[in-house]
Amino acid sequence: MSSISVIGSGFSGLSAAAYLSAAGHEVHVFEKNTSIGGRARQLKTDSGYLFDMGPSWYWMPDVFEKFFSDFGYSVSDFYELKLLNPSFEVVFGEDDKMSVPENFDALCKLFESIESGSAAQLKKFMDEAEYKYKTGIENLVYKPGLSIAEFADLDLIKGVFRLQVFSSFSKHVRKYFSNPKLISLMEFPILFLGAMPQDTPALYSLMNYAGLKLGTWYPVGGFGKVIDAMTNVAKINGATFHLNSAVEKIGIENNLAKHLVVNGEIIHCDAIIASADYHHVESKLLPEEFRNYNESYWQKKTFAPSCIIYFLGINKKLKSLHHHTLFFDEDIDQHSKEIYKTSQWPTKPLFYVCCPSKSDDGVAPVGHENLFLLLPIAPGLEDNEETREKYFQVMISRLEKQVNENILSRIDYKKSYCVNDFTMDYNSYKGNAYGLANTLMQTAILKPKIRNKKVKNLFYTGQLTVPGPGVPPSIISGKIAAEQLLKHLNKINHEVII
Ligand SMILES: Cc1cc2nc3c(=O)[nH]c(=O)nc-3n(C[C@H](O)[C@H](O)[C@H](O)COP(=O)(O)OP(=O)(O)OC[C@H]3O[C@@H](n4cnc5c(N)ncnc54)[C@H](O)[C@@H]3O)c2cc1C
């Protein structure tokens, strides 16, 4: 049995801790914050609001199910899932909104009513996206991305053109649809999960399959319930959690990680999985000679957005709002450019409103609403109170207009969260929210490597390495890192026996 330290308790760290403890190792998870969950922590107020601080879209339910089934459980052993209908709403302008139905036939009818012939096109688009999703999930995303040889599998080579790893998402969508509303609808997951549709491989239309065909789900009690469930699985298998435990240094001897310094104390270990942001681990915890990448490498990378978030408690019910609403009533290209190309505060922003109290009575006091407003921005922007408030006013006035109700005067809880908070709370590079963008040049083997090239018992996991940003990929990332570490331990045990 080896003693393994995991740095960070977000989805990727929890996943790695669960797999490693189930394999019989002594696992210690060190988390700098006072609660488990990383970017998916929850915020509980004295007045009875419960906010998810990060993820709110539960897509790819099969990935969550697979995680729990690896330990002999099912999702329903831990939390209840609700299928949302409508899946979400998109606001295109005053009195112009689209309710996206959960049922695929109803979605086809909706498409046809907007653009003639688009129902048939949507079916074709989805058949192809389904192939990508299934091939991607089964053969691609669980690969460690260490060498091109991993992709030498015949089916994958045959599929590589069908998978469209090398063509642009933006062109792909426009081959099927010409109505700007339908194009925006198909492009939104790409924009929010980090990159310009022009720079994203068409492979990622698998996200449209995930979102529009597999459904948008909600874990009752919020994403915190998923965090609790994964923590439980890790604990049942013997993992120990240490909160308020910021790792300050990784100690290296003879090219092996031998200890951590945690709150000034030396903690010995046989191997390490670092699930905190990759850049932080390399630049702050590791001596320079053992880093995989230097500062100029990170500066050249395209990061997924940061965001400005408002957590709001409203002391009345809002009649015409659904669980998820996307405000696409401004130019999507302009906002994308301001995130990815010109790095500036957006002139006419798109934003997103989440109202989980529409599906869950437990997240707000009776008769109140729980609101979460999110506006994606370029990472690294100067963040101050005045700017936050300016964008709050922009979002709230557009929301008020849309629901045709006064909200501002009914706010009884208000808290903002932005670049400086991401940096302080998670040691996030430039205050990024979602890690590294899924661009063509940052896919699979081109992502920051999951293992340290010089320190053989140090592995990385999380949204900055394979397979990428988002909750399901982070869970998968933890599994891949754990498998790589277990392989390494098997190898050295074998060498010792020989
Ligand atoms: C606002 C927001 C909305 C999102 N929405 C969605 C969504 O709807 N659907 C979806 O699928 N995904 C969404 N995501 C993305 C998803 O939440 C992330 O991809 C995922 O949670 C990342 O997990 P992680 O383990 O890689 O990182 P983290 O959750 O950041 O975990 C890393 C942990 O390391 C800790 N740490 C850092 N430094 C140290 C140190 N020195 N010592 C000890 N601990 C340390 C941090 O405190 C943190 O707990 C969203 C993210 C954000 C921020």
Helix H or strand E segment including 252: strand 247-253
Whole-number Å distance, alpha carbon 428 to ligand 1 midpoint, is: 9
Q: Are residues 117 and 263 both part of a single domain?
A: no
Nearest to 125, CA basis, from 195, 165, 175 = 175
Q: Is residue 479's pLDDT more than 60?
A: yes
Q: How many CB atoms lie within 10 A of CB 414?
A: 13
CA distance 280 to 61: 30
Mutate to test the pocket of ligand 1, among 226, 352, 434, 464 (most ligand atoms within 8 A of CB): 434
**Ligand 1 atom 27 nearest Cα:** 10
Q: Are residues 278 and 194 both part of a single domain?
A: no
244 three-class SS: coil
Mutate to test the pocket of ligand 1, among 63, 303, 471 (most ligand atoms within 8 A of CB): 471
CA distance 114 to 390: 35
- Classify residue 88: in a domain, yes or no: no
What mean pLDDT is predicted for residues 66-75? 98
Lowest-pLDDT choice from 37-41, 286-290, 461-465, 490-494: 490-494
Q: Is residue 8's pLDDT more than 60?
A: yes
Structural domain ending residue among the three candidates 168, 187, 214 = 214
pLDDT tens-digit series, residues 144-155: 888 777 766 656
Q: Is residue 193's pLDDT more than 80?
A: no
What mean pLDDT is predicted for residues 249-269? 97
Q: Are residues 233 and 208 both part of a single domain?
A: no
So what's the pLDDT on residue 103?
97
| Domain coverage including residue 449 | 3-44+221-301+438-497
Q: Cβ(438) to ligand 1 under 6 A?
A: no
pLDDT tens-digit series, residues 360-379: 999 999 999 999 999 999 99
What mean pLDDT is predicted for residues 421-446? 91
Q: What is the mean pLDDT of the chain?
A: 93
- Classify residue 345: in a domain, yes or no: no
- Classify residue 399: in a domain, yes or no: no
Q: Cβ(31) to ligand 1 under 6 A?
A: yes
- Classify residue 393: in a domain, yes or no: no
Q: Cβ(6) to ligand 1 under 6 A?
A: no
CA distances from 281 to 50, 288, 464, 471, 484 (A): 31, 11, 11, 20, 18
At 30, which CATH number?
Answer: 3.50.50.60
So what's the pLDDT on residue 148?
72
What mean pLDDT is predicted for residues 390-408? 97
Q: Are residues 186 and 232 both part of a single domain?
A: no
Q: Cβ(63) to ligand 1 under 6 A?
A: no
Q: Categorize the per-residue pLDDT at 122 as very low, low, confident or very high, splitting at 50, 70 and 90.
A: very high
So what's the pLDDT on residue 385?
97
Q: Cβ(426) to ligand 1 under 6 A?
A: yes
- Classify residue 86: in a domain, yes or no: no
Q: Categorize the per-residue pLDDT at 77 as very low, low, confident or very high, splitting at 50, 70 and 90.
A: very high
CA distance 193 to 166: 19
So what's the pLDDT on residue 160?
63
How many CA atoms lie within 13 Å of 305's alpha carbon, on the beta-carbon side?
Answer: 31
Q: Is residue 344's pLDDT more than 60?
A: yes
Q: Is residue 208's pLDDT more than 80?
A: yes
Q: Cβ(54) to ligand 1 under 6 A?
A: yes
Whole-number Å distance, alpha carbon 10 to ligand 1 midpoint, is: 5
Q: Are residues 192 and 255 both part of a single domain?
A: no
pLDDT tens-digit series, residues 270-319: 999 999 999 999 999 999 999 999 999 999 999 999 999 999 999 999 99
Whole-number Å distance, alpha carbon 275 to ligand 1 midpoint, is: 9
Whole-number Å distance, alpha carbon 9 to ligand 1 midpoint, is: 9
The residue ranges of DSSP E strands in 378-481, in sequence order, are 411-417, 458-460
CA dihedral 413, 417, 420, 421 (to 10 degrees): 80
Q: Are residues 208 and 113 both part of a single domain?
A: yes
**Ligand 1 atom 38 nearest Cα:** 276
Q: Are residues 173 and 242 both part of a single domain?
A: no
- Classify residue 266: in a domain, yes or no: yes
Q: Are residues 28 and 110 both part of a single domain?
A: no
CA distances from 347 to 20, 343, 387, 403, 493 (A): 47, 12, 12, 23, 58
Q: Are residues 294 and 443 both part of a single domain?
A: yes
Residue 58 DSSP label: B
Structural domain ending residue among the three candidates 214, 231, 252 = 214
Q: Is residue 333's pLDDT more than 90?
A: no
Q: Cβ(471) to ligand 1 under 6 A?
A: yes
Please provide the size of the chain in residues. Answer: 498
Q: Is residue 192's pLDDT more than 70?
A: no
Structural domain ending residue among the three candidates 196, 214, 232 = 214
Query: What percent of the chain has a predicted confidence (pLDDT) above 90?
Result: 81
- Classify residue 334: in a domain, yes or no: no
Q: Are residues 228 and 210 both part of a single domain?
A: no
So what's the pLDDT on residue 491?
86
- Classify residue 384: in a domain, yes or no: no
So what's the pLDDT on residue 189?
81
Q: Cβ(275) to ligand 1 under 6 A?
A: yes
Whole-number Å distance, alpha carbon 147 to ligand 1 midpoint, is: 26
Q: Cβ(15) to ligand 1 under 6 A?
A: no
Q: Are residues 21 and 115 both part of a single domain?
A: no
Q: Are residues 33 and 112 both part of a single domain?
A: no
So what's the pLDDT on residue 136?
81
Radius of gyration of the chain (CA): 22
Total structural domains within the chain: 2
